[in-house]
Structure 1
Amino acid sequence: MFGINDFSRNNKLLGILSVLMIIYTGILLYSQSIRSISYWDIFVYLQNAMLFSGNNIGSQLSVPPVLSLLTSVPFKLGFISETSLFVVSGILFIFLIIGMYLLFNERFDCEISLLASLIFSMLSLIVTWALTGATDVPALSFGVWALLFTIWGLNKDFKYYYPAFLFFILAFFTRFTEGFILIVMGYYLLINFEKFKKQLTVKNILPFVVYVLIIGLIICGVYLSFQGTIPFISQFLEVSSSSQVSSVNVGYELNPYYYLQNLPEYLTSFNASDSYFVSLSTSDNSPTPLSYAFILLVVIYLLKFLSKLVNYDICEVDNKNIKIAAIILLSIFTIISYTHLSYMITELVFIVILLLYYRWLPDKDNQMDYLMLLWIGIYIIMHSYHPVKVDRYIIPILIPLTYFVTTSIQFILKDKKKVLIALLIILILMIPVNASYLSSITHENQHTHEEKVAAEWLGQYDPNYKSYNISSDRGVVFSWYLKKYVYTTIPRVLEANNESLIDKLNSIEAKYYIDSTSNTTKIAGYQCIYDNNKDTRVKIYERK
C-alpha cells in the first residue's frame, strides 16, 4: 500500500496531474459559463452566498452552507456573478481529483492512479455536473479527503484523524447525504480494529474527543442561534421516510432500479439528448460501447471478489459451511428487504455482511476492495430507496466504479506495463468521446436565456420594481436575476394543497407574477404585460 511517504516520492506525477486538471477545469469552466444555470437548487446556493456576503435577497438556510460560504468570499470582493460559483466548484473539482489520485495510491502504483483519476474526470455524469454549482462534486471532494486522512490516521499517525474529521464535517455540510462517507471511514477502522485499538490511549483520545465536541457545539450553537433548529436532523428523517415526498416533485420516480438501469448513460455518452436542456437528465443520453465495457470489467472483478464464497480450497476457516450459509442468508434478506423496509435496515445488514465477509474469509490483503464495495452499496441502497431520483445524486459511486474498472484490468492483465497501456488506450478513446459530449452541452439553456430576458425587461419596464412584492413559479431564479426576494408560488403545488394561485397572490399582495413553467392563460385581477411567445414561454402579469 502507498501512503504519505510515496506522496513526496511521486510529487512529479502529482504536479503533472495538477497542471492537466487546471487546463481541463479551465475548459469545463468555459463550457459552464456558456451553459449558465438552470437547476433550482443552485440558485438557492447563490442566494445564500449573497446572504453570507451581506446582501439578503432571500435564503434557505436549511440547506448545507459550505459551498455558499466559500462562494461568498469572491462575492465580498465584488465578484457577484454566477462565474464565482463555477470557479469555486472548479477549485474543489481539482481538489477532488488530487485526493482521488492519492486515495488510489493506497492500492495502485502512482502511474495507474494518475490514469484512473483522469478517466474518472471524463465520465459523462462528472463532466455534466462538476462545475455547475451543485453540491454533489464539491461534497465528494471533501469526502474523499476524509477517507484518505482516516487511512493515514491508522497507518501513519493519529494526528491525521483531526483533518479526517474536519473534512467529514465539510463533506456533510456541503451535502448532507455525503455524510454517509462516515460509514466507509468507520468500516475501515473496524476491519483494522486490532491495530486501531492500540491507538485508543488516553493521550490520543481525550484531546480528539474535546476537538470533536468543540466543533459539534460550535455548529449546533450557530444553527440554534440563527435558526432555532438543527435542519439536517429533519432532512435525515425526510430521506428515511418516503411518505414525506409528494409526487408533485419533478424527480419523483419509484423505480428502485433507476440508477442501475441508467448507469451506462452516466459513464460515457456520445452527446446529450435533445431533451437534456428540458429535463436536465443524462439518463436520456445514448451511451457509448465504452460504458458497457466498463460495466463488464466491474462485473468480472466483483465475481472474482465473491468467488471466495465457493472456492473451498482457500476457505480454510472454522465452520466454513455455516459461515458461508450465514453470509448467503443475510444477502438474500438484503435483497428481499430492498425498498420494502427502511433503507437504514438494509444498509445495516449490508454493512454486517461485508464485515463478516472480511472477518470469516481469507485473502484480506486488498482492504480497499471492501471499502469500495461498501461505498457503492450504501449510496445505491439509499438513493434507490428514496422516491426522488436525480442523476447527480449517484455521483459518489463513480469513484468506486472507476476503482473496480482499474482493479479488473489489473486482475486480467497482471503485468503493470500492460495495465498502463490498457488504461492509456481507454483514456485516449475517452478524449474524443468527452470532447463530443462536452460540445453537445456547451450552449445556453433556452429557458434560462428567456428568464434572463424577462427579468431585464421587467427592470426596464418598472425601475422601481424592488419596492413591490413579486412572485413567480421560479422564485429563487428571479430572486437572483432581479437581486431582490421573489416569492415562490407554484400553481400545481397549490392545487395539490387545495389552494388557489389568486388567493396566494392576494395574501402576499404581489404586484407582479412571473410565469416561467406553469403555462397560465389568465389570472383574475392581473393583466399580462409581457409574453415572449416562444417555445419556452415566459409571461409577466401585473396587478390591475
Structure 2
Amino acid sequence: MYIKSFFNDLNLTKKDGIYLLALTVFSILYTVHLIDVNYTLNFKSDPFVYLINGLVYAGMQGHIENYSYGMFLTPVVSFLTSLLFRMGIVDKIAIMIVSGVISILGEIGLYLLFKTKFNEVYSFFGCILFASFHIVLTIWGGGGIDIPVCAFSIITFLFMVLAVDKNPKYYIPTSIFLIISIFTKYDALFIIPILFLYYLTKHDFFNLVDLALSDRDELKIVIKNYIKSEEFKYIVISLIIAVVLFILFCEVIWSYGANLTFLTQSQESLNGFNSAKAARSHFYYNDKKFYIRNLYTFFYPQISQEFSLIIPAIIAIGTVFNFANIIRRRKEYPMVRDYKTPHFKYLLVGLIIILIPIAIIGFKYISHMVTNVALLTICVCLLSLADKFDIDKRTFNLDIFFLAWIFVFAVFFSFITIKGQRYLIIALPAVVYFVLRTIEEIFNKFKDSNILKITLIIIAAIIIVYSLSFTFTDGNFDTERNNTAIQEVYDYLVEYDPDYLNKNLSSDYSYGSRFGTWTLKKDVRYVKLGVIDQSESDYLIVKHDNVSLANYTEIYRAGKIKLYQNNMYDNSSI
C-alpha cells in the first residue's frame, strides 16, 4: 500500500523500471570493480579509523586500549561495518561493502530525485554522469564516508521534495535520513538550511512579513489554520523523531568514552579551522580559491585538463542561455498578484542588492556563515518575488534549491583551511542537475525526441564502458608498493617477536599507525618525526628517510618501510 503510494508520488512508469534495473546493474558492477581496484591500490588511511571503531562496536577490539580517540567520529558506517564483523567478515573489505551498498542506494535515490524534474532518459544519464566524475571514481568503493554521506543526503532531499510537493507524511523519512546523514559525516549538518529553503518554496516567508505589516488579522488566521493542518502535525512528529534519534546517536558516542567534539568543531568551523593545529595538517590550504583553481580535478583530469572543464562550460552555457531567454521573454511573465504592503517588492529588491556585497565581504573577511546566510536570504527573496509572477514555479523552485545545494557546501569548504576535493562530492549531484537543465534546454529545440534518447544513451554507454574499465594512474602504484611493504613489516614483527602484543609500538606516519592498529588489533601510536627517537617504544615503524634514531637499530626493511628495535630492549628471549 505504502510502496504503491510512494511510486505514484514519484510518477514512476514501466519505462522507469527498465532504467532503474539498468542503473542498478551498472551500479553493482561499478561498485564491485572499484572495490577490487581500491582493495589493492587505493585503500586510504581514514577508513582504518572507521574499521577500528567497527571492531569496538562489535566487541572485537582485542588489545586496542586507546580506542576512544576515534570514537567521536560519526558512527553510522562503523556500526554497519561491525555487523559484517559479527558475521565473520573481519577484513577491510567489510567497510568497502558497506560504503558500496550505501553508494548504490544513493545512485537509485539520485535517479528518483532527478525524476521529480526530468524524464527517465535524463535521470538515467545524470546518474551515470555523476558516477563517471574522476573524484567519485577514486573514492567510490574505497571504504570512505564521502560517498555514503552524499547518498544519504540525496535520499533526504528526495523525501523533502516529496514532503513539500506531494504529501507531508514524507517529512518523517526526511527527518530520519537527515539524522542518519549527519551521523554518517558531520558536514551533513549543512543540509538543514537547504531543506528549510525548499520548505519555503511552498510557504512564502516574506508573504508572512507582508501580512505582519499590512494585515495582522489575516496573519493570525493563516497561522491558526496552519497549526491545524496535516503538514504541521507531520512536521512536529518529524522534529520529535529527529531529536530522539540525535540524542540516541550522541548517547552511543558518549557511552564509548568519546567526547561530543563535533559540537566544538562546529564552533571551530566558524573560523575556518584556522588554528595552529590545522596549519600542521598535510591538507592545510589557506586559499579560498582552492576549489576554483582545482575545478578540473573533479571531472575528467585523467583525459585532459581542457576536457575536464566541459562540465562547468556546459553549466555556463545553460546559465547564459536561460538568462537570455528570460530577458527575451520577460513580457510573457506578467505579475499575477502583488503584496499588500505598498512597494514591498521594491524593498525585497533593495534587500537583495544590499545582501550581495555583504555575502562577498563576509566570505573574504568574516565567516562562511555570514556569506551563506546572506545568499540563502537572497534565495528566499527570489522565491517570494517569483511567486508573484506567472512563471514555471516548479522549475524555478528546483533551480534555486539545487543552486543553494551547491553554494552552501562550496562556500563552507572554501572557507575552512582543511581542504580536499573529496569533501565537495556532496555537492556534485546538484552540479549534474544543472548539466541536465542545459541539455534539456538545448534538446527542447529539436522536435524529434529520438535524437535526444539516442544521443544520451550512446554517451551513457561510452561513460559506462569507461567507468567499468577505470584503474588508477601510475602515481598510485607507489601506494600499492607501500601498502604491501607495511604489511610485510608487520608480518615480520609478528614472527620476530611472538610477544608483540605486550610491546609498545609506534610509527612516524598516520597510515602506518592506523594500519598497524587494525592489523595487529593492538595500539600502534602515531609519533611525530621530530620526537620519535624519544618515544620509548619497543619498536618503531618508520617511513621517512634520513631519520636519526640514536636509540634504535634497524632490524628489517621492506621497500620504504623500516622496522626499528629499541637498543634497550632485551631480545635474549626471542
TM tier, shorter chain? Answer: 0.7 to 0.9
Change (3 A) 1:201 1:337: closer
Instruction: State the alpha-carbon separation in 2 of the partners of residues 137 and 491 from structure 1.
Output: 33
Distance 1:162 1:431 in 2: 35
Report deviation, 1:529: 1.6
Give the whole-Å Cα distance in 1 for the aligned partners of 2:78 and 2:553.
37
1:402 Cα shift?
A: 0.9
Aligned-partner Cα distance in 2 for 1:294–1:422: 17
| Contact kept in structure 1, 2:51 and 2:95, CA below 8 Å | yes
Question: Which moves more between the two structures, 52-61 or 425-434?
Answer: 425-434
Residue identity matched to 2:526? T
Q: Report the alpha carbon displacement of residue 323 of structure 1 after superposing the two structures with TM.
A: 4.4
Report the Cα distance in structure 2 between the residues aligned to 1:103 and 1:396, rounded to whole angstroms: 15
Cross-structure match for 1:54: 59
CA distance in 2: counterparts of 1:173 and 1:304, whole angstroms: 40
Instruction: Determine whether 1:408 maps to 2:418.
Output: no
Instruction: Indicate conservation of the 8 Å contact 1:514/1:538, yes or no.
Output: yes
Q: What is residue 107 of structure 2 aligned with on the other side?
A: 97
**SS at structure 2 position matched to 1:487:** strand
| 2:250–2:260 Cα contact (<8 Å) kept | yes
Match of 1:341 among 366, 371, 378: 366
1:372 alignment counterpart: 402
Q: What is the CA–CA distance in structure 2 between the aligned matches of 1:214 and 1:350, rounded to whole Å?
A: 31
Give secondary structure in 1 for the equivalent of 2:394.
coil
Q: Any idea what the Cα deviations from partners look like across 1:330-365, whole Å, max 9, x if unmatched?
A: 223322322421111111111111111221134323
Aligned to 1:253: 285
Provide the rounded CA distance (Å) in 2 between the counterparts of 1:513 and 1:264.
40
Question: In structure 2, what residue type is equivalent to 1:302?
Answer: T
Change (3 A) 1:179 1:423: farther
How far did 1:370 drift?
1.0
Q: Is contact 2:24–2:108 with CA below 8 Å preserved after alignment?
A: yes
Looking at structure 1, the residues matched to 262 and 268 of structure 2 have their Cα atoms a distance apart, in angstroms, of 10
Inter-partner Cα distance in structure 2 for 1:336 and 1:258 = 18
Query: Partner of 2:503 in structure 1?
Result: 468
The gaps in structure 1 that reach 5 residues or longer are: 272-285, 493-499
Contact 2:10 2:115 in 1 (8 A): no
Structure 2 stretches of 5 or more lacking a match? 1-6, 205-221, 569-574
CA drift of 1:391 comes to 1.3
1:457 shift after superposition: 1.4
> Structure 1 residues 316-325 or 98-107, which shifts more?
316-325
Distance 1:335 1:125 in 2: 28
Match of 1:287 among 305, 322, 327: 305
* Residue aligning to 2:552: 526
Q: Does 1:538 align with 2:569?
A: no
User: Normalising by the residue count of structure 2, what TM-score does the alignment of the two structures yield?
Assistant: 0.83
Deviations 1:37-70 (A, max 9, x none): 2x32111011111111112235311111111111
Match of 2:320 in 1: 303
Name whichever of 207-216 and 403-412 sits farther off: 207-216
How far did residue 36 of structure 1 move?
A: 4.8
Please tell me whether the aligned partners of residues 175 and 239 of structure 2 are also in contact (alpha carbons under 8 angstroms).
Answer: no
> How far 1:201 sits from its partner (Å)?
6.0
Give me the identity figure in percent: 25
Q: Is 1:399–2:429 an aligned residue pair?
A: yes
1:40 aligns with 2:45: yes
SS of equivalent residue, structure 2 residue 288:
coil
Closer/same/farther in 2, CA of residues 447 and 293 from structure 1, 3 Å limit: same
Give me the whole-angstrom Cα distance separating, in 1, the residues matched to 2:232 and 2:371.
35
Query: Quick one: distance in 2 between partners of 1:159 and 1:294?
Result: 36
Aligned to 1:497: none
| More moved, 122-131 vs 467-476 | 467-476
Candidates 12, 16, 28, aligned match of 2:34 = 28
Contact 1:519–1:537 under 8 Å retained in 2 = no
Provide the C-alpha distance between the structure 2 equivalents of 1:322 and 1:187, rounded to a whole number of angstroms: 20
Choose the corresponding residue for 1:156, options 144, 166, 177: 166
Superposition pairs of residues 16-415 of structure 1, within 5 angstroms: 16-37=22-43, 39-56=44-61, 57=64, 58-59=66-67, 60-193=70-203, 197=226, 199=229, 203-227=233-257, 229-241=259-271, 242-244=273-275, 245-270=277-302, 286-287=304-305, 289=307, 291-305=308-322, 313=331, 316=334, 323-361=348-386, 362=389, 363=391, 364-366=393-395, 367-414=397-444, 415=446
Give the match's secondary structure for 1:430: helix
Q: Which residue identity does 1:143 align to in structure 2?
A: S
Query: Is the Cα contact below 8 Å between 1:162 and 1:208 reproduced in 2?
Result: yes
Task: Indicate the RMSD between aligned Cα atoms, in angstroms.
Answer: 2.7
Partners of 2:9 and 2:186 lie apart in 1 by 29
Tell me which of 398, 402, 419 is aligned to 2:452.
419
Give the match's secondary structure for 2:538: strand
Question: Which residue of structure 1 aligns with residue 488 of structure 2?
Answer: 453
In structure 1, C-alpha distance between the alignment counterparts of 2:296 and 2:471, rounded to whole Å: 17
Using the TM superposition, give the Cα deviation of residue 113 of structure 1 relative to its aligned residue in structure 2, in angstroms: 0.4
* Structure 1, 426-435 or 244-253: larger mean CA deviation: 426-435
For residues 527 and 470 of structure 1, the distance between their equivalents in structure 2, rounded to whole angstroms, comes to: 14
Deviation at 1:5, TM superposition (A): 4.5
The CA deviation string for residues 205-228 of structure 1, in whole angstroms up to 9 with x for no partner, is 554343233223323333344436
CA distance in structure 2 between the aligned counterparts of 1:233 and 1:304, rounded to whole angstroms: 43
Aligned amino acid, residue 211 of structure 1: I
CA contact (8 A) 1:125 1:395 kept: yes
Distance 1:202 1:34, change over 3 A: closer
Closer, same or farther: CA 191–203 of 1 in aligned 2, 3 Å = closer
User: In the TM superposition, what whole-angstrom CA distance separates every residue of 1:452-498 from its partner, at most 9, and x where no partner exists?
Assistant: 11111111111211111111123212111222111111225xxxxxx
Judged with a 3 Å threshold, the aligned counterparts in structure 2 of structure 1 residues 424 and 328 are, in CA distance, closer, same or farther, namely: farther
Aligned to 2:539: 512
CA contact (8 A) 1:269 1:433 kept: no
Secondary structure at the aligned position of 2:564 is classed as: strand
Q: Which amino acid aligns with 1:465?
A: Y
C-alpha separation between the residues in 2 aligned to 1:304 and 1:92?
A: 36
Task: Give the 3 Å change call, closer, same or farther, for CA 201–170 of structure 1 in structure 2.
Answer: closer
